[in-house]
A and B are shown apart, each in its own frame.
Chain A
Amino acid sequence: MTKPTPLPLATKIAVAVLLVIPCAALAAVPLYSRETPELWGWPFFYWFQLSWVLITPVLTYLAYVLLERARGRR
């Protein structure tokens, strides 16, 4: 068995950035742990985290597509 062709550096960086963004955003607890600004009655703490449930899959899917393209298969 041989290793598959290595990924281009640009792809690696792009994938890493896409995956780090949600982790960094949710690790910043002191920044989002607050009540305002409210959205439709939701305190910031709650709607901020809920919105990352929606954003994160988009980022991970993009990372997946980038990897599949770089490997040029399927």
Chain B
Amino acid sequence: MSLAADTGVNGVELGVVLFFFVLVTAGGFVAVRWRRGESMHSLDEWGLGGRGFGTVVTWFLLGGDLYTAYTFVAVPAAMFATGAVSGFFAVPYTIVAYPIVFVFLPRLWSVAHRRGYVTPADFVRGRHGSRGLALAVALTGILATMPYIALQLVGIQAVLDTMGLGGSGSWFVRDLPLIIAFAVLAAYTYSSGLRAPALIAFVKDTLIYVVIVVAIIYVASEIGFGTMFDTAKGAMAKPNATTGLPTGTFFAGNTTYWAYGTLAFGSALALFMYPHAITAVLSSRRRSVIRRNTAILPAYSFMLALLALLGFAALYEVAAGKMDVFGQDGKANAQLAVPHFFQAVFPSWFAGVAFAAIAIGALVPAAIMSIAAANLFTRNVYREYLKPDATPKHEAQVAKIVSLVVKFGALVFVLGLDRQNALNMQLLGGVWILQTFVSIVGGLYTRWFHRWALLLGWAAGMVYGTVVAYRQEVPVVVTKLVDGDVVSSVNGTRHFGSPLADFPFTDTKVYIAATALLINLVVAVALTLVLRAVRAPEGVDETEPGDYHADAPSTKVVAAAERELAAEEGVTATPQRGQP
């Protein structure tokens, strides 16, 4: 039972969570020895795990990477608060993403492997011969990753709050557990690089699968799916106390077809543009590993769908008077729906397992995201603009430090931001990252687009997306429990309140990212026609047609990299690992 008045710390839950936390921390530090390469002193080793992961490790790594606290906390929270259109779109999103990336990701893997590219911006630079465009892609990646890491922290916070930690006291005491968890994460990411999250992902995914199977059996046997859906339908139809409109949607209606569809497809296109997704893809050993993974990764989507429904199960438990979503601070918070559900219906030790799963499920992607952002900064900002003669060893060192800075940045982000609509953070990141789609995926197939047109298209999409997202102002509703009564009050408005906005010149709501991508594409096509007509310089394409199908690194590139490494370490270079 979790009621607002109950402020004690649950010792059993905390003990179980600490046990798993210590376990994965040990794993994180030991990981440095796992499948060890010749040296950790290069981005290929630290930032891509030596590019040697096979089908199974890649599956765990990508699963651990893509299915995050977003899946376990934010999606069910959205289902709990406003229903299908704002939450369940994640299901078609994570289904259609795979047939889509099946088509183009192997090309990206091949060209990256042959040319030694570590980041998507490396590819853009090589393909379009444009430093400016590469910088735009790199900075977009770093920017979009920040709110995504912050979303992971929101997940950990929800768990800590449920266990009774962090309710009272100064902000420092309140957020101390979160800061400690993050400091430990930062330490092993620093020393082990991508190998750490890859190893921890095994623990995380095993826990998650166990937890979700048990939870669904509980829902099926103790609540019944029919009852659960009926409760949810009723709850969504109920008028909202402040606006008088229905609370949410039980399924997409006339006015929300486009919203639902564009959220799903826009997010799907954006998914593998994220630096952390590309990092995990590039760390795989062979081209075929990626296509095989597109067939087995939907196992996680199945889990996501069931988890989303736990938001509805929580609605049932609330209606039955077994739980609420009031946090330690006395305010209602939808992010607490799933953690409170576990606490209300399961014994403490099992709730502890579930919380450990959520917390580790947030740490793994946070680690990969910070590594990906660090790779981007090092390759495409530091080496490109600040220190062009950086050696591989020096690059790895810079990346390690940047990974710390990025995590700290996300921590600041989350301590200062509204956590109520954590899902919006991820959707805002999606608006930005999708603007790199034309440069990256377009570039995989054609050199037709002009580099300046791509840059201006990107700029148009970024400006439109950010401005429109900013203009989505919604009232800030604070719901508290006062003497046993639920009291809601409106406390001003806030920006970035919704991922949806009217499509220009219509009153149909669509995902802002989709409109922005369309504008981006139109600008890029129109300006390419103009720039080609005036014969503006196109830039040099360093890739060759064969690069896009290759299954092994280019011998020329490998030889050059080895010369560089050998010159630096004063030893004879041995053949690269990770070759078939």
Binding site for B on A (CB under 8 A): 1-4, 18-20, 22-23, 26-27, 29-30, 33-35, 38, 40-43, 45-46, 49-50, 52-54, 56-61, 63-64, 67-68, 74
Residue pair B298, A42 in contact (C-beta under 8 Å) = no
Q: From residue 272 to 295 of chain B, which have CB atoms closer than 8 A to chain A? A: 288, 291-292, 294-295
Residue pair A54, B302 in contact (C-beta under 8 Å) = yes
Residues of A within 8 A of B257 (CB): 29-30, 33
Jot down 9 A-B pairs with beta carbons below 8 A, ordered by A. A3-B546, A22-B96, A26-B96, A29-B252, A33-B260, A41-B228, A41-B229, A50-B91, A67-B291
Additional A-B contact list (17), CB under 8 Å, known A42-B225, A64-B102: A2-B546, A4-B549, A18-B99, A19-B99, A19-B103, A23-B100, A29-B260, A29-B261, A35-B250, A38-B226, A41-B227, A41-B228, A46-B88, A46-B229, A56-B96, A63-B99, A68-B288
A26 to B196, CA, bound (A): 36
Q: How distant is A4 from chain B, measured CB to nearest CB, in Å?
A: 5
Residue pair A33, B95 in contact (C-beta under 8 Å) = no
A3 to B548, CA, bound (A): 9
Residues of B within 8 A of A18 (CB): 99
A27 to B95, CA, bound (A): 11
Q: How distant is B205 from chain A, measured CB to nearest CB, in Å?
A: 17
Greatest chain A CB density within 10 A among B95, B228, B294 is at: B95
Residue pair A64, B95 in contact (C-beta under 8 Å) = no
A64 to B287, CA, bound (A): 12
Residues of A within 8 A of B546 (CB): 1-3
Residues of B within 8 A of A46 (CB): 88, 229, 251, 309
A18 to B98, CA, bound (A): 12
> Beyond A1-B547, A33-B260, A50-B305, is A26–B251 a contact (Cβ under 8 Å)?
no
A43 to B251, CA, bound (A): 9
- Interchain CB contact (< 8 A) of B95 among A26, A35, A67: A26
Residues of B within 8 A of A63 (CB): 99, 102
Residue pair A60, B225 in contact (C-beta under 8 Å) = no
A35 to B249, CA, bound (A): 12
Residue pair A49, B291 in contact (C-beta under 8 Å) = no
A63 to B95, CA, bound (A): 15
> Beyond A3-B545, A43-B251, is A60–B98 a contact (Cβ under 8 Å)?
yes
> What total count of A-B pairs have CB within 8 Å?
116
Residue pair A52, B95 in contact (C-beta under 8 Å) = yes
**Shortest Cβ-Cβ A-B pairs, 5 listed:** A1-B546, A41-B226, A61-B295, A45-B251, A41-B225
A1 to B546, CA, bound (A): 5
A11 to B451, CA, bound (A): 34
Residue pair A49, B102 in contact (C-beta under 8 Å) = no
Q: How many residues of B contact A (CB 8 A)?
A: 46
Binding site for A on B (CB under 8 A): 84, 88, 91-92, 95-96, 98-100, 102-103, 224-229, 250-253, 257-258, 260-261, 264-265, 288, 291-292, 294-296, 298-299, 301-302, 305, 309, 544-547, 549-550, 554
Residue pair A64, B96 in contact (C-beta under 8 Å) = no
Residues of A within 8 A of B550 (CB): 1
Residue pair B95, A53 in contact (C-beta under 8 Å) = yes
- Interchain CB contact (< 8 A) of B298 among A34, A40, A57, A64: A57
> Beyond A41-B225, A53-B298, A59-B99, is A26–B264 a contact (Cβ under 8 Å)?
yes
Select from chain B the residue with minimum beta-carbon distance to A56.
B95
Greatest chain B CB density within 10 A among A4, A34, A50 is at: A50
Residue pair A53, B88 in contact (C-beta under 8 Å) = no
A6 to B468, CA, bound (A): 45
> Beyond A23-B96, A41-B229, is A60–B295 a contact (Cβ under 8 Å)?
yes
> Beyond A22-B95, A43-B251, A49-B305, is A57–B296 a contact (Cβ under 8 Å)?
yes
Select from chain A the residue with minimum beta-carbon distance to B301.
A53
